[in-house]
Structure 1
């Protein structure tokens, strides 16, 4: 009996993994570990969130720079990590002004790094066109990873902003769970088959229901706003989370890879986990400025 039950569990788990494309149990364990670390950093000491965000930005910038290098672009990975991480404390202590200045300084830093490589390393030289593409890719890494992610740091640094950051991330996670559950159970109509074949309109409907419900509840019980603000909050974060997820899927499709990396078992890479939160961070900060 035990062996039969175990076989049934394994068969069911294999079916779920085949449908989702990931080992579900490991994904849940890793997700819980990241979630608990995030909660601790937000609730107890804001500076810990800055450290948490810095680690995520470092790994994510390294992942994306590595993936772009594999596609033929010569991006300085160490330089990308240094420049991206520098944006985090600047955003926390100097807010939007520090975010902009250090992002631009980081771009300049990466450009100088690349041009020095061209000057002293024959193996890193190329045509003017290829070098310009490398410089453009450096800008992309800084804006897509460091600049967008730093909105969570600015938001958290504001008085009461940590609760808006937490609310934004909860809506992102809940909408992802809603999409997963609804798509797994009812998904039949692909949403963007050429970009992300596993996404369905049924899954999006489940994400919408979850995001709106979470947004209203969080507005009433966490960020002290009327229900209609929660409705707007949920719908906006739903839209940015979906666009962020599809954008990262498009990047991976263009690069010809399934995951940005394999560092997080069951999840792929760090960028595969934070893709929905990047645009949502900017949206969450904008909503805070409007309603708080």
Structure 2
């Protein structure tokens, strides 16, 4: 198990890191600034994550409108892609006194279409007590995968800091927290952290994850982003707890659904959602911290 996890972890890190560096090469060599490799990866990850979450929710008795959630989530990243193609100018629609952003439009569109689908279903087959669960599940899936995942794209297109490096450092710190927690927990774990949600997580693993995340933040952040040591300490202290919470949040959903992994497509890890769980909650914190530090330069 450990060997498989290490091998596929290295392969994933090398593959994703290579694609991000390919985007950087295309930008510098050919002035292609809209990150084609990244958007292909995030689109695929979004579709797979929504599908896995839909299966998880189905196990818990809630069937969401999966294609609608996928479309709304992809529209968020597509709006950033459109902005990049326009030279970085944000897409905002002004309707009278209201400024409508793509995120707002995607959420409104999802709600309206889901209500239409449920209304037609009710018209044809009668009122269904599960309709409210489906509508609520749609919003949960969109917020969890779409809105939280949008922070990754926001990191990638940062201009005040190098977007590729900002994303690489963020993912490296988050995943080093996961790796440190896993390795320290296996080697020294004695006291359970939250056995009701994740029986294998330990206090010793939590401390090890913090330490490794701090080391990676100081090393990679200084080298790639040029931030001060105290900024990188703050960055690690802000991001690491959110990564742990992200992992526990997915554990909560999996336990509620009565399953161990969100999928089986990635040997040693489970599904795409099992890889993204810590990232989804930690990426917004990382983006907020880096924006603050960039503004203070």
Scaled by the length of structure 1, the TM-score of the pair is 0.85
Q: 1:244 aligns with which of 246, 251, 266?
A: 246
Greater shift, 104-113 or 250-259, is seen at 104-113
Deviations 1:88-127 (A, max 9, x none): 211343468333432443343344334434444x3x9522
Q: Counterparts in 2 of 1:59-70, with a 5 A limit?
A: 59-70=48-59
In 1, the alpha carbon distance for the partners of 2:123 and 2:57 equals: 21
Distance of aligned partners of 1:111 and 1:213 in 2 relative to their CA distance in 1, 3 Å threshold: farther
Q: Which residue of 2 aligns with 1:38?
A: 16
CA contact (8 A) 1:75 1:114 kept: no
**2:71 maps to 1:71:** no
Q: For 2:190, what is the secondary structure of its paired residue?
A: coil
**2:41 maps to 1:52:** yes
CA contact (8 A) 1:90 1:102 kept: no
State the Cα distance separating 1:213 from its structure 2 match: 1.1
Scaled by the length of structure 2, the TM-score of the pair is 0.84
CA contact (8 A) 2:57 2:257 kept: yes
State the Cα distance separating 1:198 from its structure 2 match: 0.3
Q: Which residue of 1 aligns with 2:132?
A: 132
Q: Which residue of 2 aligns with 1:195?
A: 197
State the Cα distance separating 1:58 from its structure 2 match: 0.4
Q: 1:226 aligns with which of 225, 228, 241?
A: 228
**2:120 maps to 1:116:** yes
**2:155 maps to 1:166:** no
Q: For 1:191, what is the secondary structure of its paired residue?
A: strand
Q: How many residues end up aligned between the 2 structures?
A: 266
State the Cα distance separating 1:280 from its structure 2 match: 1.2
Q: CA RMSD in A?
A: 1.9
State the Cα distance separating 1:148 from its structure 2 match: 0.4
In 1, the alpha carbon distance for the partners of 2:274 and 2:112 equals: 27
Distance of aligned partners of 1:42 and 1:107 in 2 relative to their CA distance in 1, 3 Å threshold: farther
Point out the structure with the larger helix share: 1
Distance of aligned partners of 1:291 and 1:201 in 2 relative to their CA distance in 1, 3 Å threshold: same
Deviations 1:120-175 (A, max 9, x none): 4x3x9522xx2112101110000001110111112211221221111110001111
Greater shift, 255-264 or 198-207, is seen at 255-264
Deviations 1:192-224 (A, max 9, x none): 010101000000010010111111112211111
Q: For 2:61, what is the secondary structure of its paired residue?
A: coil
In 2, the alpha carbon distance for the partners of 1:31 and 1:113 equals: 40
Structure 2 regions of 5+ residues with no counterpart? 24-34, 84-89, 92-100
In 1, the alpha carbon distance for the partners of 2:210 and 2:60 equals: 35
Greater shift, 29-38 or 209-218, is seen at 29-38
Q: Which residue of 1 aligns with 2:179?
A: 177
Structure 1 regions of 5+ residues with no counterpart? 1-22
CA contact (8 A) 1:42 1:49 kept: yes
Q: 2:267 aligns with which of 255, 265, 268?
A: 265
In 2, the alpha carbon distance for the partners of 1:114 and 1:266 equals: 39
